[in-house]
DNA sequence: GCCAACGTTGGC
DNA sequence: GCCAACGTTGGC
């Protein structure tokens, strides 16, 4: 089981939109970055991820699950781009902000801190458990 | 709203 | 194949 982080600007696609899709989930499409795509290719059914709101909020707000492995991105004809499907699993009781993450020494190496522009990122198990604890959410 | 950082594109 | 120019992202 691997852990990931999906980043989105809430005005474009937010946690509420994801929750509204229910168990059917939704494609995580529109990714046009090779690194991010390669991480999605590595994802397996049942992998879990953080859902992160960028820009104004800059917070991890919930947990999602991979419900379909990488397949063609339906928003482009370009065969280079692929995406996975994810569904909302549960929200954070308390969203964990980027500031909190930066203040936490054991999270200082998170990709979110090191390479903030990457929209799909791997998360280590230690980071996963720590952030879940900070959000008062079952890991 | 600004700007730095990064990735991608295209000319040579 | 290199690198300058450009566009986009996202923190501040």
Task: For chain A, give every domain's residue range.
Answer: 3-134
pLDDT at A60: 96
Class of domain A3-134: alpha beta
The closest of A21, A104, A102, A90 to A58, measured between CA atoms, is A102
Task: Report the protein residue whose CA lies nearest the C1' of nucleotide C9.
Answer: A117
Residue A138: predicted pLDDT: 87
Query: Per residue in A129-139, pLDDT tens?
Result: 999 999 999 88
Q: Are A67 and A88 in contact (CB under 8 A)?
A: no
Helices marked H in A28-124: 34-42, 98-103, 111-114
Q: Taking the C1' atom of B8, which residue's CA lies nearest?
A: A33
A129 touches strand B (CB under 7 A): no
Q: Please tell me the pTM assigned to this model.
A: 0.94
pLDDT tens digits for range A87-114: 999 999 999 999 999 999 999 999 999 9
Q: What does DSSP assign to residue A76?
A: -
User: What's the average pLDDT block by block, 10 residues per block, for chain A (139 residues)?
Assistant: 95 94 95 93 97 94 96 88 95 95 93 92 96 93
């Amino acid at each position: 089981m691997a852990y990931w982080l999906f980043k989105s600007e809430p005005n474009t696609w937010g946690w509420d939109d994801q929750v509204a899709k229910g168990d059917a989930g939704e494609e995580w499409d529109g990714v046009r970055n090779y690194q991010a795509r390669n991480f999605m290719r590595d994802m397996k059914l049942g992998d879990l991820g953080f859902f992160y709101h960028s820009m104004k909020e800059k917070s991890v707000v919930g947990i999602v699950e991979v419900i379909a492995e990488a397949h063609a991105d339906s928003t482009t004809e370009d065969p280079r781009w692929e995406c996975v499907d994810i569904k909302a699993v549960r929200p954070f009781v308390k969203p964990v902000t980027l500031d909190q993450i930066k203040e936490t020494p054991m999270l200082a190496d998170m990709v979110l801190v090191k390479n903030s522009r990457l929209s799909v990122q791997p998360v280590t198990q230690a980071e996963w458990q720590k952030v879940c604890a900070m959000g008062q959410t079952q890991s």
